[in-house]
């Protein structure tokens, strides 16, 4: 099932109403689902490898706390922020200023920034760790079976 963007996100606490949460694809809903957005977003940074390392570790720590509490929605949101750390830092690694497209719609020439590429590898490693975590996968399957 795809992510439901028609929900009243301003009035739903997904910790209290996990049944309303849909996993969706990739990073769908990452900036909408509260209270997790407010808990994770302040730690999400990737400007340098040092900042990315600190950020990825903090988000992974939050993932572990959600896991300890059997909070699948929190675990999935940590996965989404980690995935978004990878994809955004990859975009900045490939294109100066993170802009893939020119004003006329043409794609800018790819110019690899190795420092930014180091940031994407840091997030990619944590993302892979989270998305293959056996307990995460079990809770994901259970959530999808129970709520769609």
Q: What is the pLDDT of residue 1?
A: 57
Average pLDDT score over the chain: 95
Q: What is the pLDDT of residue 75?
A: 98
Of the candidates 4, 2, 7, 130, the one whose C-alpha atom is nearest the C-alpha of residue 72 is 130
Of the candidates 94, 74, 60, 64, the one whose C-alpha atom is nearest the C-alpha of residue 30 is 74
Contacts of 100 (CB under 8 A, 6+ apart): 91, 94, 107, 108
Beta bridge partners of 101: 107
pLDDT in tens, 44-75: 999 999 999 999 999 999 999 999 999 999 99
In this predicted structure, the answer to whether residue 139 has a pLDDT above a threshold of 80 is yes
């Amino acid at each position: 099932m795809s992510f439901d963007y028609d929900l009243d996100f301003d009035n739903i606490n997904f910790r209290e109403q996990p049944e309303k949460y849909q996993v969706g694809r990739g990073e769908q809903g990452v900036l909408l689902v509260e209270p997790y957005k407010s808990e994770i977003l302040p730690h999400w940074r990737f400007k340098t490898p040092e900042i990315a390392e600190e950020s990825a570790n903090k988000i992974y720590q939050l993932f572990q706390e959600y896991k300890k509490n059997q909070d699948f929605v929190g675990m999935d949101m940590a996965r989404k922020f980690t995935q978004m750390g990878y994809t955004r830092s990859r975009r900045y690694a490939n294109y100066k200023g993170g802009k893939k497209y020119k004003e006329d719609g043409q794609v800018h020439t790819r110019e690899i920034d190795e420092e930014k590429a180091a940031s994407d590898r840091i997030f990619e490693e944590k993302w892979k760790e989270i998305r293959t975590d056996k307990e995460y996968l079990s809770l994901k399957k259970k959530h999808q079976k129970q709520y769609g």
